[in-house]
Amino acid sequence: MVSKKPENIPALVCQPIGFIRSGKHLKHAARHQPDEAAEERNHIELLPVPGYQEALHDLVGFDRVWLVWWFHLNTRWRSKILPPFGPGKRLGLFSTRSPHRPNPIGITPVRLYGVKKFTLEIGPCDLVDGTPILDIKPYLPSYDSFPESATGWWGDYAKEEAERGPCAVKIAPLATEQLAWLEDKWKVEFKGRMVEILTRDPRPHRTRRIRNRRGGGFDIACGAWRAVFDCVDSVVTVTAVEPAFPPVFLRDTQRTRVPDREAQIAFLLKWPKA
């Protein structure tokens, strides 16, 4: 039994050993779990600390490693969590993988492709660019994999999801034009992540950031953007894209943390009715 009062327990101090470079600059761009089928390469850049390069010796030869990392974009924790995919009710935090934790530590197994000096080349990951890495450990299937284990509420949801089956997602001509324009001109790409979520479950949900629209239909928030869609008989049709920020926010130069500001302004000039 813990006899000390929380205020009398000394704080633990840890320092990042490096940071990830994933190109995913918004939380929406990072999947909830890595997509093993994706053709994706990312890099972990360790800090040039004496001993770190030597510590990477003998890691080559392992197919996978565990990353232990810090949810640096989260500042609060919650005892009850509404998972993005689950039974549709709040669950105890410690039965979920939510980032909103007392100690916001994440773990991810990733494929290891190579090590060069202070840099590790890895495969698909679920980390946003700049995530602090706390530790790296080798993945050992004989100790780290228990495929027959019961998985509580997640097992029940996975069964229900399999019975429901995936939705088909279609992109209407206007939305196709808008998505292509954003990617070609502004390097803004969220189609893959959007399709992944809508394929799994397009129903309104706070954590998936899907809501009903006034006048009918739905939209899904995708970082600084929204995609408008309809859903009929398990067929999702994305009809249009629009900025997530109102014009008054985009014009306000005092708001310095508006992502894709210039792209949103240019979008509204090209599609003023969006």
Number of H helices, E strands in the chain: 7, 13
Query: Which sequence spans correspond to the domains of the chain?
Result: 12-144, 168-270
Q: What are the tens digits of pLDDT across the range 70-99?
A: 999 988 999 999 999 999 999 999 999 999
Q: What is the pLDDT of residue 172?
A: 98
pLDDT at 5 over 80: no
Q: What is the pLDDT of residue 39?
A: 85
Q: Give exposure, 139-148, as e/b (b: 16+ Cβ within 10 Å).
A: beeeeeeeee
Q: What is the mean pLDDT of residues 49-67?
A: 97
Rounding to the nearest 10 degrees, give the CA dihedral for residues 164, 86, 220, 209: 170
Q: What is the pLDDT of residue 33?
A: 82
Q: What is the mean pLDDT of residues 45-55?
A: 97
| Percent of the chain whose pLDDT exceeds 90 | 85
pLDDT at 1 over 70: no
Please indicate whether the domains covering 12-144 and 168-270 agree at the CATH topology level: no
pLDDT at 44 over 90: yes
Q: What are the tens digits of pLDDT across the range 225-262?
A: 999 999 999 999 999 999 999 999 998 988 888 999 99
Q: What is the pLDDT of residue 82?
A: 95
CB 255, CB 249: distance < 8 Å: yes
Q: Strand (E) positions, 93-172?
A: 105-116, 119-122, 132-138, 168-171
CATH of 168-270, one of 1.10.1060.10, 3.40.50.11540, 3.30.2310.20, 3.40.50.300: 3.30.2310.20
34 vs 102, more confident:
102
pLDDT at 4 over 80: no
Q: What is the pLDDT of residue 9?
A: 85
Q: Which residues, other chains included, contact 103 with Cβ-Cβ below 8 Å and sequence gap of 6+?
A: none
**Measured distance CA(32)–CA(49) in Å, rounded:** 31
Across the chain, mean pLDDT equals 94
CB 233, CB 244: distance < 8 Å: no
pLDDT at 37 over 90: no
CATH code: domain 12-144 is: 2.40.30.70
* 137: helix, strand or coil: strand
